[in-house]
Amino acid sequence: MEPTMNKELPLQHVQPTPSSPKRKWWRKLYTQRHIQTMALLGVVWMIIFNYIPMYGIIIAFKDYDIIRTISEAPWVGFEYFREFLEDDNLMNVIRNTIGISLIKLFIGFPLPIIFALFLNELRSVKFKKFVQTISYLPHFLSWVVLGGILATWLADVGIINNILLWLNIIDQPITYLAEPKYFWTIIITSDLWKELGWSAIIYLAAISSVSPEMYEAATIDGAGRFQKMWYITLPSIKSTISILFILAVSGVLNSNFDQILVLRNSLNDSASNVIDYYVYQTGLLSARYSYSAAIGLIKSVIALILLLIANGITKKLNDTSLF
């Protein structure tokens, strides 16, 4: 008889059962619970203050007053929309809104880019920080404070008139805020003064991410500073420029209500009556809530259309878009 030999069976490697995607998701959510909690608070805040109030937009289609609730107010359809389109103030309001906003867009949008490009070229770190600090400071002052400063400067006995009289540029003082023809210039100039440095921050951040090797290679090839800015810096930050341009175009109908409210008066009303102030005037001062809601809804719809158009154009031109 042949002796029996113990044959060892090959070991079976047991593969661990993969955890389900749902379990992985919960595990990841638990490990990030502190961050998720902070994010959840922001989402809740947005729902409460941004989305739930959207229910109130239906008063644009109702004859609403403070005596009745929104549900009790009778439906009037598009009556207030038609009333706004037939309003005698419509053309003046649209002219002021679009005029101020387009000038701000064509002047105020490229200037922070140019400012960031030249600021990036400064070699002295101390001087660069000094310029940055000086340009940022006005942003942190409210329009109430800046409006008071401008009103003092632009008064008939203010520093602007004193300088112009001393230089013999004018013969007698001018009350600038009382003259409608000066209002747009004051609004656009003061807005640039306040926001130029702050608007350049995001461009400076984008420029700082450009690879230094590209500049070194351009230097070896004999490129100057302006050539580097044109062929390296600008193409490298074009996606940032595109995104901010889309947002700027969508906000064309926003005329900076705080600034207008502080600097306007009855004497310059023909040049300062923009959509935002007109909504405030009719809605809060005249208690025409449904009418002002209809105007605000028209403005929001137009802003959405402009956003989609700008997003489509930038996506087609340089393949950059919000969505």
Dist. CA 276–CA 253, nearest whole Å: 8
* Residues 160, 183: Cα–Cα separation, whole Å: 15
Cβ contact 242:323 at 8 Å: no
Tokens matching residue 316: 């087609």
The mean pLDDT of 108-115, rounded to a whole number, is 93
Sorting pLDDT into bands at 50, 70 and 90, what band is 12? low
**Separation CA 44–CA 52 (nearest Å):** 11
Domains of the chain (ranges plus CATH)?
A: 62-318 (1.10.3720.10)
Average pLDDT, the chain: 88
Locate 133 and state its tokens.
């600090």
List strand residue ranges (DSSP E) for the chain, in order: none
pTM of the predicted structure, to 2 decimals = 0.82
What is residue 16's predicted lDDT score, i.e. its pLDDT?
Answer: 52
Q: Map residue 68 onto helix, strand or coil.
A: coil
- pLDDT digits 0-9 by tens, 273-306: 999 999 999 998 888 999 999 999 999 999 999 9
CA separation for the pair 25, 42 (Å, rounded): 21
pLDDT tens per residue, range 225-262: 889 899 899 999 998 999 999 989 988 888 889 999 99
Q: Do 70 and 58 form a contact (C-beta atoms < 8 A)? A: yes
What's the rounded Cα separation, in Å, for the pair 106 and 101? 9
Percentage of the chain exceeding pLDDT 90:
56
- At 179, give phi and psi (nearest 5°): -110, 115
| Residue-level pLDDT at 1 | 44
Q: What is the mean pLDDT of residues 147-167?
A: 91
Q: Count CB atoms within 10 A of the CB of residue 100.
A: 23
